[in-house]
């Protein structure tokens, strides 16, 4: 009976413990490639299951007009436990995200 009480107390403490705070998340992988004037590329993962990657390339829009075109994605685990992924592009048409959970116009 004594073991059962100790087990019950340990179980109650484990269940009552708050989840890990996202502020305590650590970067588990990081890659960065600076391509100078031509653009950049990076990606990282964190201990709280956040992932992000992004790439930019210089695009010429005409005489003396150029800008970076950015493509990327990020993923995170929502409060419901589901993993959400957003893919995006930012170019001359603005920021354009796409994801299954984002309504389309």
The string of DSSP codes covering 33-56 is: EE-GGGEEEEEEEETTS-EEEEEE
Residue 2 confidence (pLDDT) above 70: no
pTM above 0.75, yes or no: no
pLDDT for res 1: 46
Yes or no: say if 27 and 44 are a contact pair by the CB < 8 Å rule.
Answer: yes
Question: What Rg do the C-alpha atoms of the chain give, in angstroms?
Answer: 22
Q: Tokens at residue 83, please? A: 């993993």
Structure tokens at 8: 């019950």
pLDDT value of residue 89: 96
pLDDT score at 97: 95
Give the model confidence (pLDDT) of 43-73 as tens digits: 999 999 999 999 999 998 888 888 889 999 9
pLDDT, mean of residues 17-24: 65
Separation CA 83–CA 86 (nearest Å): 10
């Amino acid at each position: 009976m004594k073991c059962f009480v100790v087990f019950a107390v340990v179980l109650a403490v484990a269940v009552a413990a708050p989840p890990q705070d996202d502020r305590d998340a650590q970067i588990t992988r990081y890659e960065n490639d600076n391509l100078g004037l031509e653009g950049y590329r990076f990606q990282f993962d964190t201990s709280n299951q956040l992932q992000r990657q992004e790439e930019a390339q210089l695009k010429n829009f005409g005489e003396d007009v150029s800008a970076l075109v950015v493509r990327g994605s990020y993923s995170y685990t929502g409060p419901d436990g589901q993993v959400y992924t957003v893919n995006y592009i930012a170019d001359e048409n603005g920021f354009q995200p796409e994801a299954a959970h984002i309504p389309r116009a």
